[in-house]
Amino acid sequence: MQKLWGSRFDAHTDVLIERLNNSLSFDSRLWAEDIEGSIAHAQMLGAVGIISAADAKAITGGLKKLEIDIRSGACLLPEDAEDVHTAIEGLLRERIGTVAGKLHTARSRNDQIATDIRLYLRSAIKTIDSELSALQSTLLDIANREMETILPGFTHLQHAQPIVLAHHLLAYFWMIDRDRERLVDTHFRVNRLPLGACALAGTGFPIDRAMVACSLKFSDILENSLDAVGDRDFAIEFLSACSIIMMHLSRFAEEIILWNSPEFRYVELDDTVTTGSSIMPQKKNPDVAELVRGKTGRVYGALTTLLVLMKGLPLAYNKDMQEDKEPIFDAIDTLYMVIPALQKTLYTAKFNRKRMREAASGDFSTATDLADLLVRKGLPFREAHEIVGKVVRHCEVAGISLEDLSQESLPGLSQYLAENPQEVLSVVRVEYSVGARTSRGGTSPAAVREQWNKATARHKIAADFSRAHG
Three-class DSSP category at 51: coil
- 151-154: long-range contacts at Cβ-Cβ below 8 A with a sequence spacing of 24 or more? 151/266, 151/356, 151/357, 151/359, 151/360, 152/356, 152/359, 152/360, 152/363, 152/365, 153/365, 153/443
Question: How far is residue 388's CA from residue 226's CA, in Å, rounded to a whole number?
Answer: 66
Q: State the Cα–Cα distance between residues 11 and 97, nearest whole angstrom.
A: 26
Q: What is the DSSP string of 75-138?
A: S---TT-SSHHHHHHHHHHHHHGGGGGGGGTT--HHHHHHHHHHHHHHHHHHHHHHHHHHHHHH
Q: Helix (H, G, I), strand (E, B), or coil: what is residue 28?
A: helix
Contact criterion met (CB below 8 Å) for 321 and 231: no
DSSP string covering 357-378, please?
Answer: HHHTSSS-TTHHHHHHHHHHTT
Q: CA 345 → CA 72, 129, 284, 341, 446, distances in Å?
A: 34, 19, 14, 6, 28
Q: Choose, from 7, 72, 156, 406, the residue flagged as catalytic.
A: 156
Coil/strand/helix, residue 164:
strand
Question: Is residue 240 annotated as part of the catalytic site, yes or no?
Answer: no
Q: Distance between CA 100 and CA 55 in Å, rounded?
A: 8
Strand partners, 151: 163
Q: CB-based contacts of 346: which residues, under 8 Å, 6+ apart?
A: 135, 138, 139, 142, 256
Q: How many Å apart are CA 79 and CA 90, to the nearest integer?
A: 12
Catalogue the E-assigned strands of 288-444.
350-351
> Which of 240, 257, 195, 164 is CA-nearest to residue 449?
164
CB atoms within 10 A of CB 97: 11
Contact by Cβ (8 Å): 139, 410: no
Contact 345, 399 (CB under 8 A): no
Check: CB of residue 257 under 8 Å from CB of residue 266: no
Q: Residues 25, 123, 261, 277: which is the catalytic one?
A: 277
Q: Catalytic: 156?
A: yes
Distance between CA atoms of residues 116 and 37, nearest Å? 7
Q: Which residues are catalytic?
A: 156, 277
